[in-house]
Amino acid sequence: YLAEMATPGRKGFYTSWQSGSQQVAIVVAAALGYALNQWMAPAAVADWGWRIPFAIGCLIIPFIFLLRRSLQETEEFATRSHRPSMR
């Protein structure tokens, strides 16, 4: 999607956002894990603390769903003539 919506000459910049955002997510997850381990006792992390990152991840699901529903198909995708059929 990012490559299809990119303006001419900017595909590398647009598609680099996917990789960049993945790296930011890794850093945020590591920071959250570190913070939980500093804030909670090891027994508490083992009992119930490990659920906190999953709960945070679940909280962003509605935002992601709304974002995906609001995206328009790219012109490149809409103009493709290849329509597979069962025949």
Q: Look at residue 66 and tell me if it is in a domain.
A: yes
pLDDT in the model for residue 34: 96
Kindly compute the dihedral angle of the four CA atoms of residues 75, 69, 61, 6, in this order, to the nearest 10 degrees: 20
Residue 87 lies in a domain: no
Does 60 map to a domain? yes
Residue 23 lies in a domain: yes
Distances (CA, A) of 2 to 14, 17, 18, 52, 76: 6, 9, 8, 31, 12
Q: What is the model's pTM?
A: 0.69
Percent of the chain with pLDDT over 90: 63
Confidence of residue 82 (pLDDT cuts 50, 70, 90): low
Tens of pLDDT, residues 43-78: 999 999 999 999 999 999 999 999 989 988 888 777
The count of domains in the chain is: 1
Residue 17 domain boundaries: 2-78
- Asked, for residue 83, whether it belongs to a domain, the answer is no
Q: Which amino acid is at 60?
A: I
